[in-house]
Each structure stands twice: as structure tokens, then as C-alpha cells.
Structure 1
Amino acid sequence: MAPLISLRKVGKTYFNGDLAVDVLHDVTLDIEAGEFVAIVGESGSGKSTLMNILGCLDQPTSGDYLIEGENVGGFDGDELAALRRRTFGFVFQAYNLIPTATAQENVEVPAIYAGVPARDRRERAEALLKSFKLGDRLDHRPSQLSGGQQQRVSIARALMNGGRVVLADEPTGALDSRSGAEVLALLRVMNENGHTVIVITHSREVAEKADRLIEIRDGRIITDRMRNFRANSDAAIGLAQRAREGFAAIADVPEAIRMALRALRANLFRTILTLLGIVIGVGSVVAMLAIGTGAQDSVLNRISSMGSDLLLVRPSMANFRGSAGGSNVTLVPADAEAIRELPNVAFAVPEMTSNVTLRRGNVDYQTTANGTVPQFTEAKSWTVERGEFINRNDLEGYAPVAVLGQTVVKTLFPDDSNPVGQYVLVNRIPFQVIGVMNEMGASGSGNDRDDVVLVPLTTGSMRIFGQRNIRTITVKVEDAYAIDLTQERIQALLNERHKREDTQITNMSSVREAFTETSNTLKLFLASVAAISLVVGGIGVMNIMLVSVTERTREIGVRMATGARQRDILVQFIIEALVVSAIGGVIGIFAGLGTGYVAQLFGMPVAFTAGPVALAFACSFVTGLLFGYLPARNASRLQPATALSAD
């Protein structure tokens, strides 16, 4: 059978610019399954480089490296990761435990990348730690463990996936003599159980504990002697048959999220500052769109209440000249009668207005009088609360009757008495109140629409306004699809009647469309401004991830040494960026909804819909993905040996 490990004329050269440094020279070496080997040499002799090549953490510049007769020189990164995962376990001098993870979580790491189910890997990690007398330290983090305990955790991690070959780099270098002896005893037990143990050390005393001693100097093997061969081949074969193959699965998402939360919790203040950018961005998008949509809906509802089948006829501004009552001299009631005779016209409502003084008892009140016709309520979608509205008889008989708005009622009738049937003076002329309108509230411009007294057009023209000219004519069409044609006919009629074009007609459906288009543009602008905050938050995410990669370079090396592929590391750091963005997005959504609610309490129109919330959260998610990719890619492209040697 081929040796478990075989090196043939292996050389390694490092390049520093144009300077080439040869570290290993034509190393030829065979290691059988079940051996306990010590590679000894002084600092700079090349023994650590040799260990990196043996553990597939680095690749030779020249020569061949074979495992069980298979040349691994042509393996890509994923194939090398799979080989490390199923064959090697590493025990480092500096322990290289993940500081934010517990002892049990550290031991589980190799099994995560081998696709072992969470329950199985927890049980195996617990069993290994208990076998090393660490059963009461499962939930302790590395900072809570002694050096000897940390090294035992490191050994347990090396055995998590089977560890056919255990590579121990100066395993006792950071320990006191007693802890060092315990670690060497554990390595001996592992060897007796079939594990091939390779110890890299500069200590002769440690090397003498091995069965085979290989001495390296200046990158060359100078001695290779067998001190005491132990027949562990049967146990090694059994171990190989039990080794976990693994299927190179990316770490499951819940585990990746837990690792991300641990990393973020380790630098809580920095994480909060990073979240702040996402929170402000998402909150701004939600709040601005809610307020913008609310304002748009409010105005559109008012326009809709007027009807999209209405035309508003007014004198053109170029020909407008006021009178004492504020009316114009262009339109007259006869124009409304003529318009009413046109095809597709349901009714035409003329109106004239003027400021008047109302009196009841000792109360005087300034308000607006509006002379109109019975179809006024239909044109304005305004109903009567009490009594009745002006009818045809009132109009034809010049009746001195009035219908009051709610504001006028509250001012003149503070005693809550029923106004219907009572009299009020309008510019010292008595008018009988025949009805009270329902409350309408303020208009879009803030004017109080309930501050009005409505009188018959004929009565107002003769007894209040002192003129026959009207201010507007509201026209309702029967077929809204033909409204444009009707508008053209009305304009032509008025031009013919007045012998000039001195009127203008406003199409309410066009007003609605124009306002919708304008408000959508404004909302888009507001959302774009808010999105700038998301970009700033994304830059913050990129910053924290770049810093995180720098700070956790050695951890990345450990994960790669235990079998993580490049895309495992890529996915892990992308998930960390997405976790930051998701947390910030959720907080931002609540902040935005809270801002909208406060605005609503102050009387602003606000519309909460699922669309802006989903959009804002999706934007935060995409922001995390985009800005987290570059740091994640940098992390995934690190070489295991380089990452492990980082300070």
C-alpha cells in the first residue's frame, strides 16, 4: 500500500517583489498511517512551512505531494478544503480558538463545514470535551479557560471530524511543564487509537516523546530516525474507515446567523453606530413615503369628492376685473342656462360670492355668502345635515332663505339650539335658516369650508351682491369619456356668446392626473433623498465588515484549516452583512412607523401601506448584500497559511 503521506523533492520559494527566498529544498519524506512523528528544527529552519504543506494549508513551489498515492498538487481550493476536512486536524501553539465562541462551539466548527446536523455535532463536541475532562467548561469562552484547557479544546476540535492526521505546531510552546506533559500524553493516547500524529517543535525534549524524529535545518532534512516503531496500522485503518467524508455543505443558515450575531456582539458599540445609518435610511424611507402618500391621498380624495366628471368654468385671468363683491364681469347666469342645453351636460351650477356680516342677537360675524342653485350639493358632494337645501321655488321666488355651514352655526348658535326656522341678518337683511350643512373641514389650502352661508343665486344677486355677474360655473357631464369634447363645445359656446375668448375651463380629471403625476415625482424625490441615508448606512456596513475581516484574519485561517471552502467564508461574511442590514431594517421600519404616527397625532395626513415598508426593508437588504460583498470576497480569498500567521 502507498504511504499515507509522501513528499517527493518538495521545494518552497517565497517571493518578496523580485527577491526569491528558498525555504524548503528537495524534501523527500514518507509517513505511514499510525506513526507518531516529530519534526524538529530551530526557528527559520522551514519546519512551519513544511507543516503548512503537509496540512494542505499551502502548496509547494516544486515537487509532488501525495496522500495515499494521490497527487494533490492539481487540487483546487475546494478540493483542498475537503481534504483538510476529512483527513487533518490541527493543534496550534496559540490555540487559535474563536474568542467569541464557547468551548463547545469551537469544537463544532469542523463539523459545520462537513455538513453534520446541529444535534449530532453538539453531542459529539460535548462527548469529546468530556473525554478531555472539560465537561464543566462547555459554555466557557477561551478567555475563561487556562492555557492547558484551551489546548485541550484545540485537540478536541482536531478530532471532531475524525482527525486521521493530527498536525500539532509547537503544542506545548505556550504551556507550563505540567500542562505540556498532559498535552503530550493526550497526543500519545490519540496515536495509540490510530491517529497519525505529527508534532512540529523546536524542543528536543518534546521531540524525544515521538517514535520517529525528523530533523530539518535550512530547509533540508538532515536526519530521519525511527526510535520506537509502534504497530498502530490496524487502528489507523479502522480510523480511516470511520472518518467522516463530509459533503462540503455551506454552513447552515441558522448557524451562520448565530456566528454573525456573536461577531457583532463582540464589538457592540461599533455595531450600533453601523446600525444607525441603516436605521436612519430605512426610517426615512418609511416615514417620508407614508407622509407623502397620506398627503397625496388627502388631496386626491378632495378632488375625487368633486368628481372626475366635472368642468369648472371661470373668467380668464387676463380679462378678470373685480367688483365690490369680488365677482367677475364675464360670466352671467344666462351662460349657465346656455351650457345646460349642450349635449352630455347633466347640470351647470353658477355661483357668486361676497363677504358679508351676519348678526343674531348681540353676535356679529364676518363670513362668506355664496349664491347658488339647487344642484350645488350634487356638484360639491356636500349633503345637508338638518333641514333642507335651496329648491327651485326658492330660486324662482327670490326667497330670503339661507343654509348655514357648521362654523357659522357654532358661532351664531352657541347654545346648541336648532337654527332651522330661525332668522339671521345678512348685511342687515333678515334671512330664514332652512338648513345646516354637514361638516366638511379645511380645504387643501387650509381654508375653512364650513365658514359659509348659502343663499339662492337670484336672491343674493338682487339683495346682497348687487350685481348679476357670477364667479364660476360648475358643469357635470353625463359621459365622463366624452368630457374633452364637451369641454371644447362649452368653450366654443362661450366664445360665441362673449365674442371673445375671455373664459377658461378646468377639467377636474386632468387636475387629478396632473396632481398625481406631480405628487409621484415629489414622492420619488423624497424617497431618493432618504435613500442617500441607506447608501451612507451601506458604506458603514462595508467599513465594519472590512475592519472585521482584518481583525478576524486568524479566525478565517482556522475556519479554512478545519475545512471551510472559499464560498463558505464568502457566504459567512455576506450573511453577517445581511444580519446587520436586517436588524437595522427592522428597527428602521418601527422608527419610520413611529415617526408617521407622531406626525398623524399633529394632524398631518399619513397613509401606512405595506408597499413602502417592504420596499425599505428590501433596500436595506440589498444594501447589505452589495456593500458586504467586497469585504466577504476579500476574506474568502485569503490563503489559509497566510491567514493563520496574521497578528
Structure 2
Amino acid sequence: MVTPPLIELRGVRKRYGGSGGQPEVEVLHGIDLAVHAGEFVAIVGASGSGKSTLMNLLGGLDRPSSGSYFFEGRDVAALDADALAALRRQTFGFVFQGYHLIGSETAGENVELPALYAGLPAEERARRAQALLDQLGLDGKAQLRPHQLSGGQQQRVAIARALMNGGRVLLADEPTGALDSASGAEVMALLHALADRGHTIVLITHDREVAAQARRVVEIRDGCIVADRMNGAPVAGTSPVAAPALPPQDDAQARRATFFSELGEAARTASRGMGRNRLRTGLTLLGIVIGVASVIVMLAIGEGARQRVVEQMGTLGTTIMYLGGRAPDTGGPPGLITEEDLAALAELPEIAYVMPVIGDPIPVRQGRVERQVYVFAAQHFMPDVHQWKVALGRYHTEAEDRALTPLVVLGHRAQQHFFPGVADPRGRQLLIGDSPFEVIGTMAERGAESGAQSYDDMVFIPYSAGRARVYRVQTQPDYTVIAAASPEQVGPAEQAIRRVLLARHGREDFAISNAAARLQAEAETRRSMTMMLGLIATVSLVVGGIGVMNVMLMTVRERLREIGIRMAVGARRRDVQRQFLTEAMLLTLAGGVAGVGVGLAVGIGLIAAGAAVVFSVSAMLLAFGCAAATGLVFGFMPARTAARLDPVVALAGE
């Protein structure tokens, strides 16, 4: 029974050019080749004969322009980029003339690379890499960088890397070309030993003496196979190195690479890259730091100003206006606001509440305690007008107001003044002026209006009971609180009030204090200023992001060969994209952390100088999130560029 070939090429052609006005060049002319499992084949030919192109096709680094390539009966030419990466990861191991080791990685990390993309756990990767290095005579060399190793040692590291995922098929492109004769002999001895252990070896060389050591020699000339012959017994290697006893391959190469393992590898590589280019990294980070710090400081200043306005608005109300009589500008007695006037105003659709108020400091006594207290007489909806809650008990009702019922609600501190240590003063009596009033509740703590007495020191009684029992000589309210139906109706409500009173009085003998409109205008101005400051600060982040994109594009160009190496050992496009996107994210996140620190330091300095600065956790998270988004947005294009590189072109890059 004839065993089907492991690798089979049928009429494979490879052409370059033919687009963009470039002439088309055919490098391979209808190659037919079959390689069986366990063979040691040398493909020999002069420079430019097409042997390296053939190796790239065999290893899934390149695709044929036409023809068919079957691996174990599967049409490789029909595979997409990720499927080709899986084939390289699971099956092929590459040994290059220039070693193609990643200079920033240690020998051990270079060997581990294929297993990383196969999803092997970190501990198992390290153990297996160390075992391979030991068996190839590189014990104690795992932590050395490639530049600290000799050429022969670097090539052994490359062989160990090729074997990391099992290396069923080893593709060796001029593996002895850059070595002295002794090191070259050692490498050939290793290849013989691997062939003896069942690995399929495809050796690419221009050296006929090296090719003669293979068990089968395929000669290629001008893109065509001109000879294919079997050799006798292989030439014995002269290397004193014993053939390595390879650890058995498990199913790691069949597993998908784990996200966190690759993310950790990307972060580690990124941090090393940042360390190698400290000046460039620092300058790039500076833009992100300035942007994040600016956003935090500008928003903190804006928030401080906004909170001041909000405090005022919370006290005065966002819909409240104050109405009172005054002498007209043309002369004459002050105007009087009558109950009929207030009833007419209450009918306006723009107005929600019309609340006359009488209030003066008068003596209030409870037992032996007597204090001069501001007694606030108003209608039953006072808590709704001022958006003020009753903390204990209740407020009086409309019916109780009409019935002149002597009830009183205490301000927060008034309760403490008159009933110290009493948790619930309801049912107790207060003598207000010369009239007794029953306590029915306590208001929540509120504070004072700007420049006014604290509401918490006051006591609150029904308007009608106040006029009848306390303020007997009062003929009209001290002032009237008018609440618009909504914040948007404040302006129209003021105009409507003016229109009604002018019609009723015939002259402007009244004054309207529109505190809500002034506060809303100021708050809106502050909000707009904060937004503008935030947008200006965000520009710094955008500029910093453009710097990140520029640096990452430079990084991709500088690391073309590394990208090609990662693809050769089985990295998928998304692995390469994640690698460079993680580097961009790490750069901006480092800048974000530093920017938050700088922003806090600047803000603390401003607070010490007396500025109104209010730090917001949400603003900090926003700034930090913007920094992360900057890395994601501006790092995507360089990462995508790296991921879409042709592996052959990348390997040839400097």
C-alpha cells in the first residue's frame, strides 16, 4: 500500500508584480513536488532560483498564484490567514539563516513564543522551553538575549523554537549559511538526529555539500525542478552534541491561544519597548498627561463654580420669584398687593403657587426659655414651594389654616433651642407672642438664604392663624413668594405678573425679584464655560492621541521582522493586532495614571490658593476613560497595519 504524501504540490506557480504598472515576474513555473512524512529533503539551487519562495509556500507564509498545495490531503491554498497561522503553529517549525530571533526577548522567551500562540500555560511553556534548551546544549542560557549568544547558539535557540510545538515539519532556510564550519556541522548533526526521530526536514540551501547530507536532494533552477534524487546513507555529523531527546508533544498546539496569556505577553513586550525608547515614550506620554490633567482641573474648577450656583438655587429655588409693593418711579405712595391681586395672579397658567408671607422676629417662650424668633406665617403649601421636607410629624392643612387653628412647626435648630434632648416635641406647647400654639412637626435642616436669617432658627405657623393671633395689625403680607410652573416658565411668568398688575394698578408700584432667572442664567453660563474648558482640554488629549498613532506607526516600521517572526511561529492577525493595540493602550493608560496624579496635584495647589475647586470621581474616570479611548482609537490603525502585513515581506524587513 502506497502511503499518501504529507506535502504535495501540483502545478504550483508564483508570480509577483502585475499591478500598479509593475511588470509581472513569475518565480516558480509549475512546481510538482511530493514529500512524505519522515523524509529529510534538501532543496538546492543558486540564488534567485526560487528555492526560498518555495519554502515560504511550503510553510504557509505565502500563497501560490496558481496550482494546488495539499497538506495531508487538505488544500492549503484555500485556507484563510488564520487557518494558515494555525497550520504553521501546529505543524511547521522554521529555522532561518539569519536566526530571526526577537532581540528584546531572552532565549527562553524566544523558544516559548510558538507555545504562547498555541495557548500552553506559562509554567508549562517555561518548563518545556528550558528542557529543549538543555537538550540542545544551551543550559544556563535561557535568560540571555540573542546578542549575548554566538551564531551557533542562536541557531540552536531557533531550532528549539521550531520544536516547541512539536515541529512535525522543520523548514530550514540556509541554516548553516551564517555559521562557521564547526557550528554548521553541529546544526547539521542536530537536523540528522531530528530526522532519525521522525521529523520531516526540508532543508533549503545553495551549498551542494550541505545538500548532499540529506537523504533526498531536489534541485531547482530558474523556478523549475530539474532533478530529484535519493541519496545513500546520510553523512555522519561531526558535532559532539548529543541528539536531543525531545519531550513528547501534547495537545497544546490544537488549543486556541488564551486571551489573558497573550494580553500579558503583549503588555510585557510593550513595557520593554517603552523602556528601550525612554525619550520618545516620555514625549509621547507628555501629551496624554497634559490632556488628562487639563480635563480633570478644568472640570474641577467648573464643578466648583457650578456647585456654588446650585447651593444658591437650592436655597432660593429654581422657579421662585418675590413680589412686593414699592413707590413708583413717577412718585406717589408705595403700592399695595391685595388679596384680589394675588387671586388674579394665581389664575395665570404660568404660575404654580402664590404664597403671601408675614414674618417678624417676636418673643417665643416655652417654659422658662424665651427667645426672639422669626415667626414665619404662610399657607399650607410652603414645603412644596420651597421644596422642603418635614422631618418629623406634618405641616398644617388648608382646612386648619382656614379654621385659624393655632399650630406650629419648628425649624431644625428651633427644636433644639426650645426642646433640648426631646426627640419628639409633638403635642408640646409654644407661646408665640401672647398666643399658645401646639407643635405638630419639625422641618428638615435647610440653612439660610443668601444674607438672610437661617430657616432652621424659625418657627412656622398657618397664614390665617398668624394674622389673627400674632400679627393682628398687619394689613398685607410682607412679601409674596410666587413659584412658576416650571423652570422654563420663569421668564414668561414674570412677564405675565407684570402685565396683570399693570392692568390692575395702572402704574408700576410693585417690584418683582426674579431670583430664579438670575440663578438659572448664571448656572447656564457656568455650565457653558465648564463645557468649553473641558472641550479645550480634550483637544490636548486628541493631540496626544495623534502622537501615540505616530509613535506606533514608527514602531511598526521598526519591528517589521519581529512581526514576521511572530506570524511565522503561528500568530494570527488578531494576535498581532492585539499586540500593538495593547502597546498603544498601555502607553495611554500610563499617561492617564500620570495625568490623574498631575491633575490632583494642580487642583490641590489651586485649593490651597483659595480657588473653588471640586474634584469629581466621575470627571477623573471620564478623563482616564478618554485616555484609554485615545489609545484604542489612535492605536487601531497602526495595529491593523501590523496585522495585515505579508509575513514574507515582514520577515525581510529590517
TM-score (normalised: structure 2): 0.72
Partner of 1:33: 37
Distance 1:339 1:164, change over 3 A: same
Residues in 2 aligned to 1:194 and 1:547: alpha-carbon distance in whole angstroms: 43
**Aligned match of 1:301 in 311, 325, 338?**
311
Partner of 1:629: 636
Name the aligned partner's letter for residue 135 of structure 1. Answer: D
Name the aligned partner's letter for residue 246 of structure 1. Answer: A
Distance 1:553 1:250, change over 3 A: farther
Distance 1:587 1:242, change over 3 A: closer
Name the aligned partner's letter for residue 16 of structure 2. Answer: Y
1:569 aligns with 2:576: yes
Out of 282-291 and 337-346, give the one that drifted further.
337-346
Residues in 1 aligned to 2:579 and 2:177: alpha-carbon distance in whole angstroms: 32
**Pairwise mapping of residues 336-351 of structure 1 onto structure 2 (< 5 A)?**
342=342, 344-347=354-357
Tell me if the contact between 1:164 and 1:243 (Cα under 8 Å) persists in the aligned partners: no
Partner of 2:270: 260
1:583 aligns with 2:590: yes
**Pairwise mapping of residues 81-480 of structure 1 onto structure 2 (< 5 A)?**
81-228=85-232, 244-249=252-257, 251-252=259-260, 253-308=263-318, 310-312=320-322, 334-335=334-335, 342=342, 344-347=354-357, 475=479, 477=481
Out of 82-91 and 497-506, give the one that drifted further.
497-506
1:612 aligns with 2:619: yes
Out of 251-260 and 212-221, give the one that drifted further.
251-260
Give a deviation string over 1:56-97, Cα, whole Å, max 9, x none.
111112222111222212111111111111110001111111
Tell me if the contact between 2:320 and 2:483 (Cα under 8 Å) persists in the aligned partners: no
Residues in 2 aligned to 1:633 and 1:308: alpha-carbon distance in whole angstroms: 52
Structure 1 residue matching 2:254: 3-state secondary structure? coil
Residues in 2 aligned to 1:187 and 1:315: alpha-carbon distance in whole angstroms: 107
Partner of 1:602: 609
Tell me if the contact between 1:275 and 1:580 (Cα under 8 Å) persists in the aligned partners: yes
Name the aligned partner's letter for residue 65 of structure 1. Answer: Y
Name the aligned partner's letter for residue 158 of structure 2. Answer: S
Residues in 2 aligned to 1:513 and 1:488: alpha-carbon distance in whole angstroms: 17
Shift of the alpha carbon at 1:481?
Answer: 5.6
**Aligned match of 2:57 in 39, 53, 59?**
53
Distance 1:502 1:118, change over 3 A: farther
Name the aligned partner's letter for residue 61 of structure 1. Answer: S
Give a deviation string over 1:590-625, Cα, whole Å, max 9, x none.
211221111111111111112111111121111111
Distance 1:302 1:15, change over 3 A: same
Tell me if the contact between 1:336 and 1:348 (Cα under 8 Å) persists in the aligned partners: no
Residues in 1 aligned to 2:91 and 2:643: alpha-carbon distance in whole angstroms: 22
Shift of the alpha carbon at 1:342?
Answer: 4.4
Shift of the alpha carbon at 1:209?
Answer: 2.3
Partner of 1:14: 16
Partner of 2:535: 528
Partner of 2:67: 63
Residues in 1 aligned to 2:554 and 2:52: alpha-carbon distance in whole angstroms: 28
Residues in 1 aligned to 2:330 and 2:305: alpha-carbon distance in whole angstroms: 36
Residues in 2 aligned to 1:242 and 1:5: alpha-carbon distance in whole angstroms: 23
Distance 1:281 1:315, change over 3 A: farther
Tell me if the contact between 2:51 and 2:220 (Cα under 8 Å) persists in the aligned partners: yes
Residues in 1 aligned to 2:330 and 2:311: alpha-carbon distance in whole angstroms: 32
Residues in 1 aligned to 2:556 and 2:511: alpha-carbon distance in whole angstroms: 68
Tell me if the contact between 1:330 and 1:502 (Cα under 8 Å) persists in the aligned partners: no
Give ranges in structure 2 of 5+ residues lacking alignment: 235-242, 344-353, 361-372, 387-446, 454-476
Give a deviation string over 1:102-153, Cα, whole Å, max 9, x none.
1111111111111112221121112112222223122222222222222111
**Aligned match of 1:560 in 556, 559, 567?**
567
Distance 1:551 1:449, change over 3 A: farther
CA RMSD of aligned residues (A): 3.6
Residues in 2 aligned to 1:549 and 1:132: alpha-carbon distance in whole angstroms: 33
Give a deviation string over 1:529-569, Cα, whole Å, max 9, x none.
11111111111111111111111111111111111111221
Structure 2 residue matching 1:26: 3-state secondary structure? strand
Give ranges in structure 1 of 5+ residues lacking alignment: 321-327, 351-372, 382-438, 451-472
Aligned pair count reads 523
Shift of the alpha carbon at 1:497?
Answer: 8.4
Distance 1:529 1:330, change over 3 A: farther
**Pairwise mapping of residues 75-86 of structure 1 onto structure 2 (< 5 A)?**
75-86=79-90
Shift of the alpha carbon at 1:348?
Answer: 6.9
Tell me if the contact between 2:95 and 2:158 (Cα under 8 Å) persists in the aligned partners: yes
Distance 1:308 1:81, change over 3 A: closer
TM-score (normalised: structure 1): 0.73
Distance 1:549 1:225, change over 3 A: same
Residues in 1 aligned to 2:47 and 2:13: alpha-carbon distance in whole angstroms: 18
Aligned-pair identity (%): 49
Name the aligned partner's letter for residue 607 of structure 1. Answer: V
Residues in 1 aligned to 2:142 and 2:448: alpha-carbon distance in whole angstroms: 70
Name the aligned partner's letter for residue 604 of structure 2. Answer: Y
